[in-house]
Every structure is written in structure tokens, then in C-alpha cells.
Amino acid sequence: MLKLRCVVERITYQNPENGYSVMRVKVKGYDDLVTLVGNLLEVPAGSVLLCEGDWKVDKRYGSQFVCQSWEEVMPATAYGIEKYLGSGLVKGIGPKFAQLIVRQFGLETIDVIETDIERLYEVPGIGKKRVEKIRESWEKQKDIKNVMLFLQGYGVSTAYAAKIYRQYGKESIDKVKENPYRLADDIWGIGFKTADGIAAKMGYEKNDLRRCKSGIIYTLNQLANEGHVYAEEEQLVKAALELLEADEAPIREALNHMVQTEDLKLEDEAIYLPPFYFAEVGTTNRLLALLRESEQDIFAKEIDVQALSKETGVEYDEVQLQAIEEAIRSKVMVLTGGPGTGKTTTTQGIIAALKHMGLRILLAAPTGRAAKRMSEATGMEAKTIHRLLEFNPKDGYKRNDENPLEGDALIVDECSMIDIILMNNLMKAIPSSMRVVFVGDIDQLPSVGAGNVLRDIIESERIPVIRLTRIFRQAQTSRIVMSAHAINQGRFPDTSNGQQTDFFFIQQEEPEKVADDIVNLVKNRLPKAYSQKVSNIQVLTPMQRGVVGAANLNMALQNALNPSQIALNRGGYSFRQGDRVMQLRNNYDKDVFNGDLGYVESVDMEERTLLVNFEDRLVEYEASELDELTLAYATTIHKSQGSEYPIVVMPVLMTHYVMLQRNLIYTGITRAKKICVLIGTKKALSFAIRNMSVLKRNTKLKERLNPELAKPTEKKSVEKKLDKIYPMSEPVLEAAAEPSESYGKKQPTIETK
């Protein structure tokens, strides 16, 4: 094996899944940049590497150095020092000041910063403020360096080392030595497999009890990411065996021990992580308590229908009136229905009726976008559930059973998105005197988090449900609405296109051509045809991977719409000023949540930071935090829940067949407010409409609310129950698991050939 010392100039490609990277590096004795390939994930530009490997000639890309192992070293040349300092690792020194400092001190630069930092005043343009910033950052960097050097021996990258340091500070090395598996629990981006790799190098055996326990927790968290609240015992043991490749006996021993110490909760054959168990039981108890309040009840007040219609300017049909009456009569109810069935109008009627009774009304929704839409529709302030409950990372939810919400009625929209943990925290804050109306579309995809709350509540047959099924005349002129309902009923929609439609189908079989057509639609054809800004067009796709998956479409759309070169790179993506981005995890410190959309306001190359604008709120990200963001020119349909967009473009191809499900396509189409364009094959669309074979989530909320349903002999059909409420024309479907938006006017046409 050969050794190669180099300075990383730029990162050409990175696969965040397996770490495979392609870099262009500067090597002493070579005039041109050298191509370096290997598992080099998270190595930032500016790093000085000592690599072991061999040269090879690739037929397509020419000569490459294939790196087998590497370590980061301090730079030994003036050029290397300049690149190192200018990489953003040291706050206060960007590329410009790095050049000036190295010009002044040459090879002594590192020594000057380390031992005699006051000499930086000799550099033109450097003042007291900047020197202090550099001093503070350098000290911190030294601590990080120590952590980094320790972790490098176990194959941990620079960026992860920075994250570990941010979490544990000076205790980092001790914490990792004590239990490397805690990294998987504590640090975003470090999964069990990374932690397990470190542990293996530290000498942990496959059957080590600590390893088995960590593997069980990881498995349960993975199942929670797929929507399951609990795992059946045998399902859990089987999954843990597959993950750990350990013997069955130590896994069962670890499992029993964790149940005894109450690190896990066991109920019959169901094994829960404690937060999920307490969330499910807590939600059940609080819903049943509200029901008991209803039974004792309260208001038997009649509505003056004429006065209500006059006030709102709406003539309500029989079922809408029934919903308004139910909201007055009951402490808790559900209002559900698809697009165009009058959910918003009915909600407005409920608000007007409750106001007549002199009640103080609170409005909430799971996401910022859904809350904003609710505010616009009602003319009242609507908050996200987190803001309603006054959440902050330090204290958690300020509103709880000891400090409940102040008001008489709460209306919550987009309830299909609420997972069991959030629902429990919401229910804790609802006083017994408050009435609650849950609004949502049961046929959409369920929550990204664990649980299937809205469906379980409806199917429990305990809580009053009004389902709106009539499509109002105004909505009937929209082919988006009619197509969504047709698909939901298992029928193929009208795909004839034409001037008077808001729903288009473009036939195209080749994935590469579909990707090209999508870029052309977004950049040229749709903005021109409908006089819409590009920012009003959203591409939604069933999958993350593949030619027409979100990752590839994002890169293609970014290059077409925002080719700026000023960018920060991370995990194979470059983030540029003006890019549309999405947050990938709940970050309570920054007050941004999974699925929040924003725009990159500015890129600071010197400080290596991004400023992202989320609904007029600016949030700063350091370079090591960029794995929390992804480009959002295209997003998965799962990530679009609770959002609406003026124009939606959606590929539908058989290459997505594993994800092609009825409720997925239905959810995608119902995100479009004005125009929806499907592009792909009718075969794929037909397959999706027929496919209702979706993964059932492990939840017990339904059975907890109504224990009779746990006995198969006594199980009733939810359709029958809902039929009593209102005759149904649409089937109730099983919802898919998570895989971890002016009608009637003449519209311009777009070419479909």
C-alpha cells in the first residue's frame, strides 16, 4: 500500500448512506488536482489527510487514488495551513483572513495562534474583536482536536467528532469510553451501526449485554420510525437477532432485564419503549375522561340555524348542521372528510356557534403551514400545537395537567398528522371543562411519528364522528377534487387533459425523460402558462431514491433554478443562497420541526454558516449541522402532509411500485390548490389505485378506548358505525406506514405531448 499526503480542495460527490466520496485534492509534486475516492464521509474541504491506498485507472474517470484508510493531520505547508484555516473550522478566520495570516507568518502560523495569538494584530484588518473570536474558537478547537484524535482511532469522522463535543463538551472522551452506544441515542446522525463499529474496536463482544440492550432500543426506535407504537415480543427478538448477529439467549436475557428494570414496558405480548406506553395510556385516559364529562352533560342548547347562516353567509346542509350540533353537545368529537366536502366551512360554522355560546376558542394544527392556513380560513389566530403548549427545549411543555390551557373550546386541524407522543402532550393540557373538536382527513397518510391516532379514535366507536361525503357544486368543477375522490373510491380518474381542467396527466415511460420533463415543467412551462412564480410549484414524489426520487430531482432542479456557486457542502448536497430547504428533525433549540420549509437567506463562507428563513423567522446553521437540512425543490409525499401548494407536479412510475399505494397518491393530489400535473404511466397510476396492501401499524389506542374491540368475536365494522352517523359512499381504508395543496375558471392549457 502507498501513502499519500494531500489537502482537500473540493468535494465532488458524497453518498451519505455508505460514505463513498469523490474528492479533488492537492498533492505535492503534482501540477493538477488529484482525484481521491474512498469512504471519506464528513471530511470537510481544507482538511489535510494522510491516506493509505493504491492508484487505479478508471475507464471513465481516469487516474484515481483509492483510499483504504486515512487520518487527519496538521498541515505542514503554507498552502495546507491556509486551506485548513480557511475551511471554517476556526471562527473568525475565513478564506480571506487565512490568506492574510499565512502571508504574514508562513509556516509559523499555527505556532503563532497557539502560543502568541497577540501577534495577529500585525495582520492588516484584524482587530481586537476578531482576535478574541479566534482565541475562543481555537481553544475550543483544541478540545475538539483531542476528541477528534481519540475518535479517529475508532473510525469516527471530523464532523461527528464536532457533534459529540457539542453534546458532551470536555467529558466527550470519558462518555464514549464508558458506553459508546449512548452516541446512537444522544446524537442526531450517529446511528447504532456507527456506535457499534466504535464499540467493536473498543473490544465489545457480540453477545455483550450492553450491546444487546442498545440493539433492542435501536430496533424499537426503528419500528417507531415506521409508525409502530410497540413491538410484539417475537417480532422484536427476530429483528434484534438480524441486526446484532448475536445469540438468541443473551438477547432474551437483555430483554428480560430491561423489563425488570422498567427500561421497557411489557403488556401481554406487546413491548413498549416507556414514552410510547405512557403516551398511549395517557391519551386513552384523558379522552375517556372527556367522554364521561359529555355523558354528565352540559349543554343541550339549540342552534338558531337561520341566525347562524345569516352571520356566516353560508347555507349548511343536513350533515354540516349535524356536525355543528355535535360540537355544541359533546365534549369531544371528530370531523372528517375529503377535499371539497366543506370541512373548512363546517369548522367556521362550529366556531360561530361556539362564539354564540360565549365560549373562548383556541385553534391549533401540527405544523406552521397548517396553522397559517387555518388562520387564513377562520380569520382567527391559530398556533402550532408546540406553540399552543408553550414548548421550549429546556422546560418541555409549559402547558400540562398542572398548568392547563385557558379557554373553553379547542379546534385542532390536520389531525391525521398527530402522532401518539404529541397527542398525549396535547391531551395533558386540556382541562376537563374544555371541549375539543378534532378535524382531519382519515384517508390521508398517517403521522410521520408513531401511532395512527385519528384512525384509532374513529375506529374505536367511542367518540362521536361526523364524516362529510357530499362534494359541493363549486368543488365539482375541479378535476383535482373529483380525481382525488375517484382514486379514493378505487376508480381511475379522468385523464383527458384540455383547456378547462386543473388536472393533467402526461404520458412518459422513461425515468430519465420524466426527470428532464419535470425540470422543464417547473422552470419554463408552468410559470409561463399560469403566470406563477417558480416558488409556487412543488414537486412531490413517492420515493427518496432513484432517477425520479427526491434526492436526484433536487439536484437537477437546483442546477436548473439556482446555479449559484457560493455554497456550503454537506453529505453530497450543496446549499446555496436562495435554495428551498426542509428541516429533517425536530430541533427544539432552534424551534424548527421535521417538515418545516424555508429558504436559504444567506451563506457565510467565512464563518461556514447558513441563515435559513422559515416563515419570516431566521435560523442559523453551522456547517456540522447541515445534515438536519435537505433541499426541498422536490420532497416525498410523506413530507408534504399538512401543506398545500398552488401547483403540484408528481411522477408516477412503476419504478416506484413498492410505494405506489392508494392513500399515497390521494395525499399527493390533495396537496394541489390550483393545478396538479401527474407525469408517468397510466399503468403505474392504475396499480397505485388498486393497491391497498399497506402496512398495519402496531397500536392499541383503539382497543384501549373500546376494550370490546380487542375480542375478535365482538369486533364491529367501522363502516357500519360511521354509516349510522351518515351514509358513506367512500370506503374507509387502512392507512400506509411511514417507510426512516379558484376553481371552475377557464385555465390556460399546457402541452401534454
**CATH value at residue 82:** 2.40.50.140
What is the predicted pLDDT for the residue at 695? 65
What letter does residue 524 receive in the DSSP assignment? I
Please report the beta strands in 429-559, taking only residues with DSSP state E, as ranges in sequence order.
435-440, 465-468, 503-507, 537-541
Residue 78 has pLDDT above 50, yes or no: yes
What is the predicted pLDDT for the residue at 740? 30
Residue 694 has pLDDT above 80, yes or no: no
Residue 441 domain flag? yes
- For 329-385, write each residue's pLDDT tens digit: 889 999 999 888 889 999 999 999 999 888 999 999 998 888 888 999 999 999 999
* CATH number, domain containing residue 389: 3.40.50.300
Do 292 and 185 share a structural domain? no
What is the predicted pLDDT for the residue at 715? 37
Residue 558 domain flag? yes
426: CB partners within 8 A, 6+ apart = 364, 385, 388, 389, 412, 418
Residue 388 domain flag? yes
Backbone angles phi, psi at 231, to 5 degrees: -120, 145
Q: Looking at residues 70-87, what average pLDDT do you find? A: 79
What is the predicted pLDDT for the residue at 388? 96
- For 32-54, write each residue's pLDDT tens digit: 999 999 887 667 777 788 999 99
Residue 5 domain flag? yes
C-alpha to C-alpha distance for 483 and 491, rounded to whole angstroms: 9
C-alpha to C-alpha distance for 496 and 752, rounded to whole angstroms: 10
Residue 313 domain flag? yes
Do 246 and 193 share a structural domain? yes
Of the three residues 264, 283, 299, the one that is the final residue of a domain is: 264
Q: How far is CA 304 from the centre of its chain?
A: 44
Question: Could you tell me which of 196, 206, 188 has the C-alpha nearest to residue 155?
Answer: 196
Q: Of the segments 43-47, 190-194, 387-391, which one has the largest average pLDDT value? A: 387-391
The CA-based angle 701-703-709, given to 5 degrees, is 150
* CATH number, domain containing residue 215: 1.10.10
For residue 183, CA distances in Å to 41, 106, 188, 217, 675 come to: 18, 39, 9, 13, 45
- For 306-323, write each residue's pLDDT tens digit: 778 877 788 888 899 889
What is the predicted pLDDT for the residue at 167? 85
Question: Could you tell me which of 662, 597, 657, 595 has the C-alpha nearest to residue 338?
Answer: 662
Do 430 and 371 share a structural domain? yes
For the chain, give the mean pLDDT.
85
Do 460 and 487 share a structural domain? no
User: Which of 149-158, 247-256, 339-348, 703-712 has the lowest average pLDDT?
Assistant: 149-158
Give the CA diameter of the chain.
Answer: 90
Residue 383 domain flag? yes
Task: Specify the amino acid at residue 114.
Answer: E
Residue 5, class by beta-carbon neighbours within 10 Å (0-12 exposed, 13-18 middle, 19+ buried)?
A: middle
Do 334 and 408 share a structural domain? yes
Q: How many domains does the chain have?
A: 4
Residue 749 has pLDDT above 50, yes or no: no
Of the three residues 129, 144, 159, the one that is the final residue of a domain is: 144
Do 434 and 310 share a structural domain? yes
- For 720-738, write each residue's pLDDT tens digit: 333 333 333 333 333 333 2
Do 333 and 203 share a structural domain? no
Residue 435 has pLDDT above 90, yes or no: yes
Of the three residues 426, 454, 471, the one that is the final residue of a domain is: 471
Do 432 and 309 share a structural domain? yes
- For 595-606, write each residue's pLDDT tens digit: 888 999 999 887
Do 252 and 278 share a structural domain? no
* Three-state SS annotation for 355-395: HHCCCCEEEEECCHHHHHHHHHHHCCCEEEHHHHCCEECCC
Residue 708 domain flag? no
pLDDT band, residue 623 (cuts 50/70/90): confident
Do 246 and 312 share a structural domain? no
Q: Are 527 and 565 in contact (CB under 8 A)?
A: no
Residue 394 domain flag? yes
Do 259 and 316 share a structural domain? no
Question: Could you tell me which of 463, 469, 475 has the C-alpha nearest to residue 441?
Answer: 469
Question: Could you tell me which of 532, 528, 514, 531 has the C-alpha nearest to residue 678?
Answer: 514
More confident residue, 368 or 272: 272
User: Which of 86-90, 430-434, 470-474, 517-521 has the lowest average pLDDT?
Assistant: 86-90
Question: Could you tell me which of 400, 381, 379, 402 has the C-alpha nearest to residue 391?
Answer: 400
DSSP per residue, 80-119: HHHHHIIIIISTT--HHHHHHHHHHHGGGHHHHHHH-GGG
Question: Could you tell me which of 404, 352, 356 has the C-alpha nearest to residue 378?
Answer: 352
Domain enclosing residue 461, as ranges: 273-471
Residues paired with 24 in a beta bridge: 10, 35
Do 497 and 382 share a structural domain? no
As a residue count, the chain comes to 753
What is the predicted pLDDT for the residue at 736? 31
